[in-house]
């Protein structure tokens, strides 16, 4: 199964964004401190959509960088932040920028380290779980390379994949280690039940991982 860009564009165009949460993620709020970041640190959110996590991080005096395929999502993000971005090309991508925030619109696999700039940590809530198996290794390698193996707060789901097709996909601990153990040591921080089930359909756990460069 290949996840084409058109799949996500169609989801945003039709406002089929059940993956968008109506409040900041509880595991982010609880475990951001595990990254041991100072005020003003720059956190990269791959495949960020218009997540409210960005506004929450900004209120905590972090700087934010993100990558998102859908320009619709990014426009809505800045509208909801109440900020007018400056818009400029960044290689084959487009950068939407405002004080303390830079979002790169386009294919994350075409985002370079030079355009992304310094990253102090990665917060991956929606990227790894959105990608089918055959894309995950390429994604893990890309994110590791463009951030110089920055530490990660990684959130995944575990559930019986036979009960529901992804995305979000079920990613177990063995998969996390297979993808990242070449560069990171991985620590399971917390496993919590998804209230009401994932998409209201299947019993699932949401898991927080801390990945540290080895």
pLDDT in tens, 135-181: 999 999 999 999 999 999 999 999 999 999 999 999 999 999 999 99
For residue 2, the model assigns a pLDDT of 42
For residue 57, the model assigns a pLDDT of 98
Mean pLDDT of 54-63: 97
DSSP secondary structure, 65-111, as one string: EEEES-HHHHHHHHHHHT---EEEEETTEEEEEETTEEEEES-GGG-
User: pLDDT digit string (tens) for 91-114?
Assistant: 999 999 999 999 999 999 999 999
pLDDT exceeds cutoff 90 at 117: yes
Q: Which domain does 136 fall in, by range?
A: 5-15+24-213
Token pair listed for 106: 């386009």
CA-CA distance, 52 to 57, in Å (whole number)? 9
CA-CA distance, 28 to 17, in Å (whole number)? 20
Residue written as token pair 């509880």: 26
Give how far Cα 210 sits from Cα of 13, 85, 126, 207, Å: 34, 32, 15, 10
Q: What's the structural domain count of the chain?
A: 1
CA-CA distance, 53 to 62, in Å (whole number)? 11
CATH number at residue 99: 3.40.50.150
pLDDT exceeds cutoff 50 at 1: no
Q: Are 114 and 85 in contact (CB under 8 A)?
A: no
pLDDT exceeds cutoff 70 at 21: no
For residue 3, the model assigns a pLDDT of 47
**Is 125 annotated as ligand-binding?**
yes
């Amino acid at each position: 199964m290949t996840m084409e860009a058109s799949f996500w564009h169609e989801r945003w165009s039709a406002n089929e964004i059940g993956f968008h949460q109506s409040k900041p993620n509880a595991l982010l709020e609880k475990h951001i401190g595990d990254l041991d970041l100072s005020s003003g640190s720059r956190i990269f959110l791959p495949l960020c959509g218009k997540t409210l996590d960005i506004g929450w991080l900004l209120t905590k005096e972090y700087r934010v960088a993100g990558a998102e395929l859908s320009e619709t999502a990014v426009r809505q993000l800045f509208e909801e932040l109440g900020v007018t971005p400056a818009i400029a090309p960044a290689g084959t991508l487009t950068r939407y920028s405002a004080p303390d925030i830079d979002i790169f619109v386009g294919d994350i696999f075409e985002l370079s380290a030079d355009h992304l700039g310094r990253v102090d940590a990665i917060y991956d809530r929606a990227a790894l779980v959105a990608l089918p198996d055959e894309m995950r290794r390429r994604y893990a390698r890309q994110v590791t390379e463009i951030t110089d193996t920055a530490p990660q707060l990684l959130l995944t789901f575990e559930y019986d994949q036979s009960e529901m097709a992804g995305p979000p996909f079920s990613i177990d601990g063995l998969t996390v280690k297979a993808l990242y153990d070449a560069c990171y040591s991985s620590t399971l921080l917390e496993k919590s039940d998804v209230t009401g089930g994932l998409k209201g359909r299947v019993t699932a756990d949401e898991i927080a991982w801390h990945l540290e460069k080895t």
